[in-house]
Amino acid sequence: MILSDRDLKARIAQGDIVIEPLDDPELQIQPASIDLRLGNVFMVYRLPHVACIDSRDPQSVSGYTEQIVIEDGSGFILQPGEFALGSTLERIAVPADLVARVEGRSSIGRIAVVVHATAGFIDPGFEGEITLELANLGRCAVKLYPGMRISQVVFHTMTSPAERPYGPARGSKYQGQSGPVASRLAVDRALKDK
């Protein structure tokens, strides 16, 4: 079941759903979701000379990324066909009895920008800023501004609280992330053991 605006407000007031900062609840809390804003740090891949990203090699991913910080009032230009990582301005915390999904806002999708390729699912117990997988599917560059409402988070109830929520006890590699975080696939035990 999806939490309604009434339930979202109640769970935020109780402190078990955390959205910080939630500067404009009247605007950001929608009937069945909460709008999240775009942060000012982006990670782009500079790959003109790279034949392959090796998923087992952490340097293969981090070695080809560049961090870009956008100053107040400026925008980040996402070129047609380009992929970049961004993050939400808000830090969220999901309690053990809920899961969440981050989705793009309709107004963003209508200018051909998507906010996640596959990583829209947010586990129970997750805390941190949400890394957004930004892609421009259109034929024209799009300028995105830090602070704009770019995505929405939807919370779903589970049949029971998770026994082992996302977090340090599980060795969860993205817990507490701040800003866009590149893939940490290379530290997966199954991949490292091969």
Q: List active site positions.
A: 133
Dist. CA 75–CA 80, nearest whole Å: 16
Residue type present at position 119: A
How many residues appear in the chain? 194
Dist. CA 165–CA 177, nearest whole Å: 16
Q: Is 108 helix (H, G, I), strand (E, B) or coil?
A: helix
CB-based contact 169:126 (threshold 8 Å): no
CB-based contact 19:126 (threshold 8 Å): no
Residues in Cβ contact with 102 at an 8 Å cutoff, skipping those fewer than 6 apart: 36, 88, 115, 116, 120, 122, 130, 132, 151, 152, 153
Among 179, 174, 145, 134, smallest CA distance to 37 is for 145
Dist. CA 111–CA 142, nearest whole Å: 8
